[in-house]
């Protein structure tokens, strides 16, 4: 390449960078002018941007850019001088020109000359309606094919430039090819791999400096030990003062004292130097890591480039007036997170325009302003990026959702009729679910919120939808500020450290043995109005089970979508911010593990893949291999046979249960109803009560309630065996005080006997 060619290539690159910056100014200014065409400052900034681009294009010899920028400048100058009032069709045409300029400045994406000629003709017609009719174009956005369309006969009184994408295309803002420099700073291009490597090295450097702390503590301990040795030698010298010692012994004692004193002084000095070095190394490593991390951080505004324009154009195509307001544009976010946020945010914004905001006529009838408002707010909160996207539209038609659920046979009509608002809204995130009866260019294909949830989940985040009928909807998204670090709860499982990302943790809790109940042979505990399944982390992570004797059980409640489980661990180590270290690619996908990290002491911790872990729980449940967690303190050792009272008004059921228990070695008594059972309980001693619910005179719920109020009987284990298998029936029995609930519909010998063993152990201690 000749020096002249190199110079030209450099100029073209500069022109491309300038075009990106100036087209952003044009887009923002034109959208502001659409709301108020008389804003002198916006007219001035747009005119200067067009003028600058015209001059830059002329310097680099890009004639197409000169032509487009020139007619745009003429239009804006006419508006400044009061000769032209900017109407929507003028704004449309100027935005088309903005898109064309960006394409002209983008390598290998320049439009055909015919498109440029048609655009210049269109602007001439808009500036001078009386001019001869000339060919126009239907659109000149980057999403359009390179073709010229026949224009309708010009309307002299109301010239219009139609903006419509080709079938199958969507209205969107132009894609940007590179970032602009900020505040005039020089930009150095670095590959993402090198930047990631720099961040990885800086994080390891930070961890290595933390390893100096235990060495410093050892040095302090050594200094104390030596000080004690010197004092002991001084005491020895005092005790030997009155004893006659040889000259050699005295000299040896003095030499020992001198050497100890010198070594102690040297140790003090080196200890101070090590302390200073550790502090400085830690500070520098922290600054290095913060700087490397900052290189990956960008303002949230970077993901918003073109979103305001996209909302405006989509609203226009649907006959709606929509405005997007943004707060928190300067919020710093990792580049990788920003890239992955662009698609879900676009989905949500399009959804708000299409489904949320009403037409101007509908809004006026509802007492709202004609223009709909969408707000997008970004902020930092506890190490997370929190996004709130709300609109003042009509909200979600819950009855329409309910009807769609029934029509798609996702739920029986009687069940769908009882679904709460929160439950109905969760259906909107199902794959293929749509409230549109027909497919349009914008929606109706059932691809939207499920894709949003999937993409947000890939970022280790969560999305929640709230709505108020007639007042609008609100999406609440939480994602990490960076994928390089993750805030986690570090726990101990099988004497190893594991980390659960905080984004997937509902809560942490300590369970007493009495808090654990049995439902259909599975262990549960009560959490926020529902029974949550309990599983052992040691089984999921294939670690040896703890042999500890602690009475309480440490549980991490994890959630993913509507799946929620309590995972029992050995110990809570604490909350940590961990630098994510990807696993070696040669390992492939490690089950239930997403990545690794280093703790402050340099030890390794594995980061749990919560979504994968929940799949593992489902597999264990489906194969019947889920292990129970031993409960401490609920099985008293007795030498005699343990006694069980069976209360049921069905002779067949009573006899079946009695024989099963007798064959296993238990002593069994029976009662024909609740009253008979209550009398037996007050007159005899039993180790377990097994009762039905529906019985004459006194039902099982009343019986259990009386038992729990009796000081002598309130600790007696209780199992409910009933034909009723609904959740509310289970809840009724467990709320009354039962420890275990077994449905007769799924009754089999092993289920009953296993439950009895779980509650009171074998027939003999």
User: How many CB atoms are closer than 10 A to CB 315?
Assistant: 21
Position with higher pLDDT, 602 vs 247: 247
Closest CA to 613 of 561, 670, 567: 567
Position with higher pLDDT, 131 vs 121: 121
pLDDT tens digits for range 44-86: 989 988 988 888 888 788 889 999 999 999 999 999 888 889 9
Mean pLDDT, residues 222-239: 82
pLDDT tens digits for range 629-653: 765 444 443 346 889 999 988 888 8
- pLDDT at position 375, please? 92
- pLDDT at position 361, please? 92
Position with higher pLDDT, 138 vs 598: 598
Mean pLDDT, residues 523-548: 81
Position with higher pLDDT, 304 vs 687: 687
DSSP letter, residue 762: S
Question: Is residue 450 exposed (0-12), middle (13-18) or buried (19+ Cβ within 10 Å)?
Answer: middle
Q: What percent of the chain has pLDDT over 90?
A: 11
Mean pLDDT, residues 302-310: 80
Q: Which of 142-151, 336-345, 384-393, 502-511 has the lowest mean pLDDT?
A: 142-151
- CA R_g for the chain: 37
Give the model's confidence band at 437: pLDDT under 50 very low, under 70 low, under 90 confident, else very high. Answer: low
- pLDDT at position 170, please? 38
- pLDDT at position 136, please? 37
Give the model's confidence band at 514: pLDDT under 50 very low, under 70 low, under 90 confident, else very high. Answer: confident
Annotate 54-100 with three-state secondary structure: HHHHHHHCCHHHHHHHHHHHHHHHHHHCCCCCCCHHHHHHHHHHHHH
- pLDDT at position 75, please? 92
- pLDDT at position 481, please? 78
Give the model's confidence band at 97: pLDDT under 50 very low, under 70 low, under 90 confident, else very high. Answer: very high
pLDDT tens digits for range 243-267: 777 888 888 888 888 888 888 888 8
How many C-alpha atoms does 619 have within 13 Å on its Cβ side? 10
Position with higher pLDDT, 224 vs 377: 377
Task: Kindly report the pTM of this predicted structure.
Answer: 0.53
Position with higher pLDDT, 330 vs 217: 330
Residues 6+ apart with CB under 8 A from 705: 736, 737
Closest CA to 165 of 347, 357, 342, 313: 313
Burial track 348-371 (b if 16+ CB lie within 10 A, e otherwise)? bbbbbbbbbbbebeebeeeebeee
The answer, yes or no, to whether residue 587 has pLDDT greater than 90, is no
Q: Which of 2-16, 94-108, 289-303 has the lowest mean pLDDT?
A: 2-16
- pLDDT at position 555, please? 92
């Amino acid at each position: 390449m000749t020096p002249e060619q190199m110079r030209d290539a450099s100029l073209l690159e500069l022109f491309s960078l300038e075009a990106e910056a100036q087209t952003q100014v044009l887009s923002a200014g034109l959208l502001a002018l659409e709301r108020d065409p008389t804003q002198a400052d916006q007219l001035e900034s747009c005119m200067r941007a067009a003028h600058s681009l015209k001059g830059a294009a002329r310097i680099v010899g890009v004639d197409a850019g000169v032509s487009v920028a020139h007619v745009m400048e003429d239009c804006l100058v006419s508006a400044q001088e009061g000769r032209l009032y900017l109407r929507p069709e003028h704004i449309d045409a100027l935005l088309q020109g903005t898109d064309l300029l960006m394409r002209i400045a983008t390598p290998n994406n320049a439009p055909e000359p015919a498109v440029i000629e048609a655009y210049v003709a269109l602007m001439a017609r808009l500036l001078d309606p009386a001019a001869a009719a000339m060919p126009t174009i239907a659109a000149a956005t980057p999403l359009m094919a390179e073709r010229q369309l026949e224009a309708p006969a010009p309307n002299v009184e109301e010239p219009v430039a139609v903006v419509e994408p080709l079938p199958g295309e969507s209205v969107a803002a132009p894609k940007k090819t590179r970032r602009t420099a900020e505040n005039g700073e020089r930009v150095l291009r670095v590959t993402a791999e090198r930047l990631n490597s720099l961040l990885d090295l800086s994080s390891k450097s930070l961890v290595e400096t933390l390893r100096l702390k235990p060495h410093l503590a050892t040095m302090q301990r050594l200094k104390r030990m030596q000080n004690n040795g010197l004092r002991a030698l001084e005491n020895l010298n005092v005790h030997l003062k009155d004893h006659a010692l040889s000259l050699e012994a005295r000299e040896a004692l003095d030499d020992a004292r001198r050497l100890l004193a010198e070594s102690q002084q040297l140790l003090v000095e080196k200890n101070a130097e090590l302390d200073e070095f550790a502090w400085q190394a830690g500070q520098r490593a922290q600054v290095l890591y913060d700087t490397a991390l900052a290189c990956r951080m960008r303002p949230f505004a970077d993901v918003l480039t073109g979103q305001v324009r996209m909302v405006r154009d989509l609203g226009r195509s649907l006959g709606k007036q929509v405005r997007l307001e943004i707060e928190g544009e300067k919020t710093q976010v990792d580049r990788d997170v920003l890239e992955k946020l662009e698609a879900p945010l676009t989905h949500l914004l399009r959804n708000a325009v299409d489904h949320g905001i009403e037409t101007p006529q509908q809004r006026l009838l509802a007492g709202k302003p004609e223009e709909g408002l969408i707000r997008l707010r970004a902020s930092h909160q506890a190490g997370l990026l929190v996004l709130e996207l709300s609109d003042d539209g009509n909200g979600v038609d819950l009855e329409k959702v309910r009807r769609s659920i029934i029509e798609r046979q996702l739920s029986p009509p009687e069940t769908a009729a009882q679904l709460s608002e929160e439950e109905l809204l969760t259906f909107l995130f199902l794959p293929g679910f749509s409230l549109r009866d027909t497919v349009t260019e914008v929606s109706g294909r059932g691809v939207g919120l499920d894709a949003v949830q999937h993409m947000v989940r890939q970022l280790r985040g969560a999305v929640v939808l709230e709505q108020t009928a007639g007042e609008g909807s609100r999406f609440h998204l939480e994602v990490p500020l960076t994928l390089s670090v993750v805030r986690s709860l570090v726990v101990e499982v099988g004497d190893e450290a594991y980390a659960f990302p905080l984004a997937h943790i509902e809560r942490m809790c300590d369970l007493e043995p009495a808090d654990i109940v049995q439902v259909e042979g599975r262990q549960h505990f009560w959490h926020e109005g529902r029974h949550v399944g309990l599983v052992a982390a040691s089984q999921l992570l294939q670690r040896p089970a703890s042999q500890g004797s602690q009475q309480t059980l440490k549980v991490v409640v994890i959630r993913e979508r509507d799946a929620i489980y309590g995972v029992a661990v050995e110990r809570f180590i604490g909350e940590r911010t961990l630098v994510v270290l990807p696993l070696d690619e040669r390992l492939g996908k490690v089950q239930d593990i997403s990545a690794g990290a280093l703790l402050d002491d340099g030890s390794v911790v594995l980061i749990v893949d919560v979504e994968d872990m929940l799949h593992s729980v489902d597999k264990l449940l489906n194969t019947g291999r889920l292990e129970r967690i031993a409960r401490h303190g609920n099985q008293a050792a007795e030498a005699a046979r343990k006694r069980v009272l069976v209360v049921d008004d069905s002779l067949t059921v009573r006899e079946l249960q009695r024989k099963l228990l007798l064959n296993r070695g238990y002593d069994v008594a029976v009662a024909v109803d609740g009253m008979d059972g209550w009398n037996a309980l007050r007159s005899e001693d039993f180790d377990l009560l097994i009762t039905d619910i529906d019985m004459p005179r006194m039902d099982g719920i009343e019986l259990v309630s009386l038992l729990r109020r009796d000081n002598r009987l309130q600790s007696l284990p209780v199992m409910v065996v009933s034909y009723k298998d609904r959740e509310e029936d289970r809840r009724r029995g467990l709320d009354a005080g039962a420890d275990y609930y077994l449905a007769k519909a799924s009754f089999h010998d092993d289920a009953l006997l296993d439950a009895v063993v779980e509650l009171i152990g074998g027939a003999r201690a």
